[in-house]
């Protein structure tokens, strides 16, 4: 059975999609960009601050669905500029100190609202 996940602790969807969907113990989190859920604005301050906000948004959605970072099995990272990879990776790694998930990172031409980073996540209970 499909369950829609929503929390006010993460940004509202900026299009026709859900923050996350849970099906049979698997949580699919839509791509998160660095929007502060309180202000609704994109976080300024470069790739590290933007990645930190993205990871906080992911954490809020994980928590709302009863998951944690330890349950994450796969991430897809989209970067507006691949020269930001090292700095993004530094922040990202702090959230997965042991047994990090599988991951891929792509450089893209443009992200919504001018974001520097977007990360989508899959988590599995068990």
Averaged pLDDT for residues 24-28:
97
Residue 13's pLDDT is 87
Average pLDDT of the segment spanning 113-120: 97
The model's confidence at residue 126, banded by pLDDT at 50, 70 and 90, is confident
What DSSP line would sit under 19-72, residue for residue?
SEEEETTEEEEEEE-SB-TTT-SBPPS-HHHHHHHHHHHHHHHHHHTT--GGGE
Please give the torsion angle defined by the CA atoms of residues 13, 9, 52 and 45, in that order, rounded to the nearest 10 degrees: 70
Give the model confidence (pLDDT) of 75-88 as tens digits.
999 999 999 999 99
φ, ψ of residue 85 in degrees (nearest 5): -55, -50
Averaged pLDDT of the chain: 96
State the pLDDT confidence band at 110, using cuts at 50, 70 and 90: very high
Quick one: pLDDT at residue 14?
79
pLDDT for res 117: 98
Gap between the Cα atoms of 120 and 37, Å rounded: 17
Q: Is 12 helix (H, G, I), strand (E, B) or coil?
A: coil
Q: Does the domain made of 2-124 have the CATH classification 3.30.1330.40?
A: yes
Q: What is the pLDDT of residue 85?
A: 98
pLDDT interval class at 15 (50, 70, 90) = confident
Tell me the pLDDT tens digit for each residue of 47-93: 999 999 999 999 999 999 999 999 999 999 999 999 999 999 999 99
């Amino acid at each position: 059975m499909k369950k829609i996940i929503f929390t006010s602790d993460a940004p509202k969807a900026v299009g026709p999609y859900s923050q996350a969907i849970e099906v049979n113990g698997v949580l699919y989190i839509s791509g998160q960009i660095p929007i502060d859920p309180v202000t609704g604005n994109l976080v300024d301050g470069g790739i590290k601050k933007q990645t930190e906000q993205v990871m906080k948004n992911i954490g809020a959605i994980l928590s709302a669905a009863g998951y944690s970072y330890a349950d994450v099995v796969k991430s897809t990272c989209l970067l507006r500029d691949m020269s930001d990879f090292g700095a993004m990776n530094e922040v990202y790694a702090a959230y997965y100190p042991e047994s990090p998930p599988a991951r891929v990172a792509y450089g893209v031409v443009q992200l919504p609202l001018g974001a520097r980073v977007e990360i989508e996540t899959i988590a599995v209970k068990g």
